A = this chain, B = another copy of it.
């Protein structure tokens, strides 16, 4: 039965950008200024995972380098040449290359755009309950509250 609540299909880059560039407290928030996420899965009412098409301008990064305890993540590069940084070092990516980040292994990852052209990629992450995020390079940790909101603490457990 047709469902008028959701579109049938969407041109991804015409989807509305997320209005808030990051949920992080300062001084971390400002480091996300070069990133623009357009949620795609939400447009269709998907609940079990999220999909965004995300643009990184030159100098931008996908996130603070981080690892999830429960959430698997996946990225597929559509345009541009980001560098993937993990505990294994730096890996040059290019259009058509994908990477997956398995929950629970503690290997922090993020993409940085050191080139002079935009990077565009698809990112997928599931919505597992009880997720938590560790940040190997920053005095930060995050835990997912039961109401689905992220709570940010320093490494000693004090709230930001």
A66-77 vs B, Cβ < 8 Å mask (1 yes, 0 no): 000001101010
Residues A13 and B49 in contact in the complex (CB < 8 Å), given A8-B91, A44-B102, A107-B3: no
Q: Given known contacts A10-B97, A41-B72, is B102 in contact with A46 (CB within 8 Å)?
A: yes
> Is B100 a contact of A45 with CB atoms below 8 Å?
yes
**A96 vs B71: C-alpha distance in the bound complex, in angstroms?**
26
* Bound form: Cα–Cα A6–B71 in Å: 17
Q: Known contacts A46-B74, A47-B72; can you find 18 more A-B pairs with CB under 8 A?
A: A1-B106, A2-B87, A3-B107, A6-B100, A8-B88, A8-B91, A9-B84, A9-B97, A10-B98, A11-B96, A41-B100, A44-B102, A46-B72, A47-B102, A48-B126, A49-B49, A49-B126, A51-B76
Residues of A within 8 A of B (CB): 1-3, 6, 8-13, 40-41, 43-49, 51, 53, 71-72, 74, 76, 84, 86-88, 91, 93, 96-103, 105-107, 122, 124, 126, 128
